[in-house]
Every structure is written in structure tokens, then in C-alpha cells.
């Protein structure tokens, strides 16, 4: 069993209106040190698999086919043996 921690982020060239809105809210709170905000998704999977390669293959297939939109998003992940 592996835990797979996935981050799905917008590609740098893609506008992020949600991040802009959160950035304005942060300024309104009075936290002036924050320069920019980008929003993404975080997904944690528990993956069966006796080897790291099996867990890696399942994670990448799920990211490519379901979790990330390849036109506008990138994904990264970390595996941890449980």
C-alpha cells in the first residue's frame, strides 16, 4: 500500500481568476506581504501495490485520464510507502 500525494496546478500561461480573487481577499485582510496566489487541487490516493512502480503507474494513469486537464494543468506527486 502506498500513499500518493498529488498536486494539480494550472500551467503558468493560464489565467487564474480564483487565485486573483483570493489575492484581493488577502490584501483586504491586511496581509501585505503576499504578492501572488495560484490555486490548485490536492488529491491523496491510497494505492494498492507491492512495488513502487505499480503505485506510480496507477497514480499517473489516474492523473492523465481523470484528475488533470492536460491542456491547462500540470501534475506532480509523491509516493510514500505505508
- The nearest distance, CB 9 to a copy of itself, in angstroms, is 7
Q: Which of 13, 15, 17, 35 lies at the binding interface for a copy of itself (CB under 8 A)?
A: 35
Q: Which of 13, 15, 65, 71 binds a copy of itself (CB under 8 A)?
A: 65
Rounded Cα–Cα distance for residues 25 and 41 (Å)? 19
Q: Quick one: which of 13, 15, 29, 71 contacts a copy of itself (CB under 8 A)?
A: 29
Structural contact between residues 28 and 73, judged by C-beta atoms closer than 8 angstroms = no
3-state secondary structure of 14: coil
CB of 66 to a copy of itself, least distance (A): 6
Q: What is the C-alpha separation between 45 and 67, in angstroms, rounded?
A: 11
Q: Work out how close the CB of 14 gets to a copy of itself at its nearest, in angstroms, rounded to a whole number.
A: 13
- Copy the grid coordinates of residue 82: 505505508
Amino acid at each position: 500500500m502506498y500513499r500518493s500525494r498529488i498536486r494539480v496546478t494550472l500551467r503558468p500561461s493560464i489565467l487564474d481568476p480564483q487565485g486573483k480573487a483570493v489575492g484581493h481577499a488577502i490584501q483586504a485582510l491586511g496581509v501585505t506581504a503576499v504578492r501572488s496566489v495560484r490555486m490548485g487541487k490536492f488529491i491523496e490516493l491510497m494505492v494498492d501495490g507491492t512495488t513502487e512502480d505499480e503505485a506510480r503507474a496507477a497514480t499517473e494513469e489516474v492523473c492523465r485520464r481523470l484528475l488533470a486537464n492536460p491542456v491547462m494543468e500540470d501534475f506532480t506527486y509523491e509516493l510514500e510507502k505505508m
